[in-house]
Amino acid sequence: MSDIHGKKKALGRGLSALLDNAETENPRKELSGDYSAEYIAQVPVDQIEPNPFQPRSHFDENELRELAGSIQEHGIIQPLTIRKIGHHKYQLISGERRLMASKIAGLSQVPVYVRLANDEQMLEMALVENIQREDLNPLEIAISFQRLLEECRIKQEDLSQKVGKDRSTISNYIRLLKLPGEIQVAVRDNLITMGHARAIINVPDEQSQLLILKKILERKSSVREVEEMVRNMGKPKTPETHAVSLPAKYEKAKLSLHDKLRSKIELKLTRKGAGTIIIEFKSAEDFDRIISKLDS
């Protein structure tokens, strides 16, 4: 009874806990022509269904062919993990790349671990394994984190320990899902990095976010350039009226003031004729000197 209780407790802790707690005394045990759960076996590839909870949305064909070549030469080093869903019928938990490559390589059967897992545990194992292997793009990781928090009802603190990433990192990934669809697609397709996306998140409105995305793609902007772009968007624009060139009489007055005060003079003029005069002083004594000259 205690062994059964211990095994059930292990099922909620993810893939590593399942592997650590697997029974291996009789790894080849068969029951009525079907393999029992918690054992290692060789299973025909046509009896294994894909994982419906697979977080990866894209598999590179060239990489799959390379893996298939490696499997033909060396075999499958790491067994796939599956669950039993019927007589001679299984569902993949993890190892979809290996399964796809095995089919390309022409294998009729593959080595597997047959595990006990309900839908929620299966989703958790598939997501956690992929995140830990770091073979997902940032958007897929963000979706995986969100699903673990919502569908598997894992607290963020527990998720942090489970996947080996701090809570701020998890939050940064999840924030990607608040971006417009066009930007999410750009992240998914590696057109921009997560660093670019994190900078864009700080822009409050969607129209400006999409404008920055367009500039990034056109200019091939670095993350630092995008961060600067975002900072400048929050600053008030300098009125173009300050760029008006000074007429001759204003230039003459500016020089006259400089000669009299022996200080740096700035004179700015707007298109409507208004303007400002700035007199620079370097110390309290210099200020008193300027005032005395203006009074004289």
Distance CA 170, CA 149 (A): 10
Is residue 194 within 8 Å of residue 187, measured between CB atoms?
A: yes
CA angle 24, 30, 35 (to 5 degrees): 80
Dist CA 125 CA 10 (whole Å): 12
3-class DSSP string for 43-71 = EEHHHEECCCCCCCCCCCHHHHHHHHHHH
Spatial contact of 83 and 93, defined as CB atoms under 8 Å apart: yes
- Is 151 one of the annotated active-site residues of the chain? no
Neighbours of 39 (CB within 10 A): 20
Distance of CA 52 to the CA centre of its chain: 23
| Tokens representing residue 49 in the block | 């269904």
Count Cβ atoms within 10 A of the Cβ of residue 3 and give its class: 0-12 exposed, 13-18 middle, 19 or more buried. exposed
Catalytic residue among 25, 30, 49, 96: 96
What would the two tokens of residue 83 be?
């669950």
- Reference 196, options 217, 177, 181, 178; nearest CA is 217
Any idea which residues carry the catalytic annotation?
Answer: 96
